[in-house]
Amino acid sequence: MSEIVLETRGITRDYHVGGGLFSKQKTIHALKGIDLKLEKGKTLAIVGESGCGKSTLARIITMIDAPTSGELLIDGQPVDITKAGLTSEMRRKVQIVFQNPYGSLNPRQKIGDVLMEPLIINDNVPAAERRERAMQMLLKVGLQPEHFNRYPHMFSGGQRQRIAIARALMLNPRLLVLDEPVSALDLSVQAQVLNLLADLQDEFGLTFVFISHDLSVVKYIADEVMVMYFGEAVEYGTREAVFSNPQHDYTKTLFAATPRADVESIRKRIAAKAA
Ligand SMILES: Nc1ncnc2c1ncn2[C@@H]1O[C@H](COP(=O)(O)OP(=O)(O)OP(=O)(O)O)[C@@H](O)[C@H]1O
């Protein structure tokens, strides 16, 4: 039987902006009812242009932010993100890796300490074992034992992303949310990091939500694809189905890699239809 690691049911997220002395309050519907189900060991890619709601959805899945309505289930269990409702066991099941790991690495913290920190905060692991587990993880992501005592600025962009991935895996999560994890890297380094992610997914039976605007990366890594457009999932299915038979006008334009002007015009047509 399939194991569903991640499920969302009708997730919405509204933001209220303005409402000051000189402007009327406006509501932005960043997510408009997102339904998805993701099996263990699979990768769901979420694509769409800037502002379509990808990061908002990532924050809700990682329990950083609460939905306005709808339900998030991890391993079939409903998540209550209020302080009283969220257990540390639930929180550690989902970890996130961001586009720019440098921003989230403390420049004065050695890499070994970066990796051991989650074990200190969340687990009662003895010091010697913490060190051993951090060292093992360092090797698993293709770094060297001597990197343990080095600082973030001593690493390349690709190596830093390996460190971020290692840190995210220290608590044995079930689900990894990867928010544009290779977008800032050179092409050859991108390929290395994507291969590493694929290996780690196999080894640990990980489930991935992979956020990207790069369709060639999505084609390579995804089992399933969701295309988002103004807060809605306008396309959702297997990679083969979505790439070979896109249904929505926006997706067709996106995949045809037509010039930007065409994307703009199609957007206007869709908006006109909806009005
Ligand atoms: N904290 C916030 N307050 C107000 N509006 C927000 C907030 N966060 C996001 N939004 C709005 O919600 C919509 C979705 O934003 P989101 O960041 O999720 O999009 P995105 O697809 O991840 O874009 P990008 O790729 O640029 O990060 C946008 O219109 C954005 O301006």
Pull the structure tokens for residue 258. 């037509």
Cβ of 152 below 6 Å from ligand 1: no
* Domains of the chain as residue ranges with CATH: 1-93+176-182+201-275 (3.40.50.300), 101-172 (no CATH)
Q: Are the CB atoms for 32 and 96 separated by under 8 Å?
A: no
* pLDDT on residue 261: 47
- Supply the residue whose CA is at minimum distance from atom 12 of ligand 1: 30
Calculate mean pLDDT across residues 41-54: 94
| ipTM for the predicted complex | 0.96
**Among 50, 64, 234, residue to substitute to test ligand 1 (most atoms within 8 Å of Cβ):** 50
Name the closest-CA residue to atom 14, ligand 1.
53
User: Is 30 a pocket residue for ligand 1 (Cβ < 6 Å)?
Assistant: yes
Spell out the residues 6+ positions from residue 98 whose beta carbon is closer than 8 angstroms to its own. 104, 164, 179, 180, 181
The pLDDT value given to residue 263: 52
CA-nearest residue for atom 17, ligand 1, is 55
What are 89-112's pLDDT values in tens digits?
Answer: 889 999 999 888 677 788 899 999
Per-residue pLDDT tens digits for 156-171 = 999 999 999 999 999 9
- Of 237, 34, 214, 46, nearest to 245 by C-alpha is 237
